[in-house]
Chain A
Amino acid sequence: MEPQVHSNRAVEGVAFPSREWFERLARLMNENRALHEHLGFIDCVAQFTVLDGGLRGQPWSVQVTYEEFEAVDVREADDSARADFTAEATLATWREMLESIARGHGRPDLTQTLNYLSHTGTPLRVWSNDPLRKDLFFRYNQSLQEFVNASAAFRTTFPE
């Protein structure tokens, strides 16, 4: 799969982590419907957690609901039971991955894909109380990868 073509690279940065940042990704996904139709349905609720991304270094989580070829809902949440699976990592890990995606214009380095980072459970941990719901992370892996790859389309700012 060719990396996504991003034409409207915003000059203004969007802060990570924030709901706005994930909403931007959701919008890009919905605008790139042809790509996601090619990849196929994605039906799940994914929780992305930044372990030290909240106030005073507390965890911060957002849940993205995917239906068919779109991200239909983005909400801040700490009710992980609603999510099919949670992908959690420190801000430093997320930052390194997103910077790699930005450098590669939508294609991360070999060591910065979602699967690479999560396969051994560290530095990105993907978990669920139900192994079948956790397997959705694998069933839709390419779509999820393209979802985060789209972050190359705009500038991300990180807390100092």
Chain B
Amino acid sequence: MSTASRVESLQPLPAAGLNDEQVAGYEARFKEHANKWAEILQRNGDRMKKGEYSLHWMNTDGAAWGRRAKPSSRGLTYTDINNVPGYGTIPERATNLTFAPRGAVRDRYADEMPVVDDYTLVDRGESWADNVITLYEEAKARQWNATRDIPWSELERLPEDLEKATCQLCTFLTEVEFVAGDFPAKWLYKIPQDFLEVKSFIVTQMMDEARHQEVFRKRAIAGGGLLHASPGFEWALKAIYDSPTHTMGTFLLNLLGEGLVLSMFRSGEMIAKTHVDKEIFRRCLQDEARHVSYGVLELKNYLDNAPNRPAALEEMHRFADVGEQVILTSFTEAALVEPMAILLGGGLDKIDQGMEGQAHLWKMSVEEYLQRCERAGFDRRARCTIPLDSPWGQN
């Protein structure tokens, strides 16, 4: 069959299933910008018809051309290329809201390029952290594989109470890790090119969280199965997801939430009854600690660069007054606290002893949270809305 006859024989695509309104909207938006696009297309087409080349891209005026990046001992890092003049200046405010890379010759084309309206995180203070490049390089170097790096074949069968507790804990953590991936995803596409390092790090965080939900889901199903959802904690997760700004959400997810999850993972490693579980938690806690570090310095950067620091602090305090309920919610959620207590105590019959251990973990988690806030320049000690000692006390 010839190409021509094949094309003629094609039937129109079925309209069913297409959303007419959305397609019409897309067409309308396309037509709004069609003139500029068509103009460039026409110009390029005319030039080619004439048999001419542009070669304008070989002109290095305004480019940082010729200053070659040199690799350091660990390869060519973002820090290495940012040391090359012309590439490493992170603007206070991103004004080029196109896909064109920072450091490229792009300003002269500004009038001809579309503006990406979704790039709304344009202030450096809203997403930058001074450790973000280090964390990105570290995240890439310390990736692991939940399929291959965990010695699954060594997984031992546990007594039923301990196995159920382990599987419930893993069910809970799978639930948590899902939102920990969804929150950065919700903000990722709002970050413009000029903050590409932040965007890169956030992608590693999403990969980490995907791996965590994968490893806990696998652990549960390999050990007996997934158990119960946590309705109370779902509200805390939704609160993180719905945070009004990137910084507020990052505070809640990375500094407070991931700080808490880091404590849970450390507890998970401590109470693990098999070497397989030890390995899982140790791997995960390393990833989580990176996310916490980003959260601390992102908040610091936000406060340090706020045009009106007292107002920014007060706004964050108001947000934290509500956000701290995440800690209270997690430590009162039966689907988390009880399996943790059983694992800490060593069995269902020792759940009371496990609760004593939980009280200690509460105190430690809250103290670490307050220290991290302080490190970010955000003193919560006087305003902390949750008790420093556990609400159920030590028996």
Query: Across the interface, which residues of A come within 8 angstroms of B371, CB to CB?
Result: 131
Closest partner residue, chain A, to B138 (CB atom): A41
A-contact bits for B360-384, CB 8 A (1 contact / 0 none): 1100100010011011000000000
The reply to whether B269 and A116 form a contact with Cβ atoms under 8 Å apart is: yes
Query: Across the interface, which residues of A come within 8 angstroms of B74, CB to CB?
Result: 41, 68
Q: Which residue of A119, A132, A145 is within 8 Å of B266 (Cβ)?
A: A119
Query: Across the interface, which residues of A come within 8 angstroms of B131, CB to CB?
Result: 132
Q: Does A79 contact B (CB under 8 A)?
A: no
A25 to chain B minimum Cβ distance, whole angstroms, is: 19
B-contact bits for A123-140, CB 8 A (1 contact / 0 none): 000000011100110111
Given known pairs A68-B74, A142-B282, A142-B283, the reply for A1 and B273 (CB within 8 Å) is no
Q: Does B267 contact A (CB under 8 A)?
A: yes
A-contacting 9-mer, from B80-88, B160-168, B287-295, B319-327: B287-295
Question: For chain A residues 141-160, which have a beta carbon within 8 Å of chain B?
Answer: 141-142, 145
The reply to whether A139 and B289 form a contact with Cβ atoms under 8 Å apart is: yes
Q: Does A40 contact B (CB under 8 A)?
A: yes
The reply to whether A135 and B292 form a contact with Cβ atoms under 8 Å apart is: yes
Q: Does B286 contact A (CB under 8 A)?
A: yes
Q: Identify which of B275, B292, B296, B297 gathers the most chain A CB atoms within 10 Å of its CB.
A: B275
Q: Does A55 contact B (CB under 8 A)?
A: no
Taking residues whose C-beta sits less than 8 angstroms from the other chain, chain A's interface range is: 20 to 34
B34 to chain A minimum Cβ distance, whole angstroms, is: 48
Query: Across the interface, which residues of B come within 8 angstroms of A43, CB to CB?
Result: 134, 138
Query: Across the interface, which residues of B come within 8 angstroms of A40, CB to CB?
Result: 138, 141-143
Question: For chain A residues 102-119, which have a beta carbon within 8 Å of chain B?
Answer: 107, 110, 113, 115-116, 119
Query: Across the interface, which residues of A come within 8 angstroms of B143, CB to CB?
Result: 40
Question: For chain A residues 21-59, which have a beta carbon within 8 Å of chain B?
Answer: 39-41, 43
B372 to chain A minimum Cβ distance, whole angstroms, is: 5
Q: Does B175 contact A (CB under 8 A)?
A: no
Query: Across the interface, which residues of B come within 8 angstroms of A13, CB to CB?
Result: none
A40 to chain B minimum Cβ distance, whole angstroms, is: 3
Q: Does B285 contact A (CB under 8 A)?
A: yes
Given known pairs A115-B269, A115-B285, A120-B364, the reply for A2 and B375 (CB within 8 Å) is no
Query: Across the interface, which residues of B come within 8 angstroms of A132, CB to CB?
Result: 131, 293, 296-297, 375
Q: Does B117 contact A (CB under 8 A)?
A: no
The reply to whether B360 and A120 form a contact with Cβ atoms under 8 Å apart is: yes
Query: Across the interface, which residues of B come within 8 angstroms of A39, CB to CB?
Result: 142
Q: List 12 A-B contacts (CB under 8 A).
A: A1-B151, A1-B279, A40-B142, A68-B73, A120-B357, A121-B364, A131-B374, A132-B131, A139-B138, A139-B286, A139-B290, A145-B282
Query: Which residues in A have some Cβ–Cβ distance to B below 8 Å?
Result: 1-2, 39-41, 43, 68, 107, 110, 113, 115-116, 119-121, 130-132, 135-136, 138-142, 145
Q: Give 10 nearest A-B pairs by CB, closest first.
A: A40-B142, A40-B141, A138-B289, A139-B289, A41-B141, A131-B371, A119-B270, A115-B269, A135-B289, A116-B270
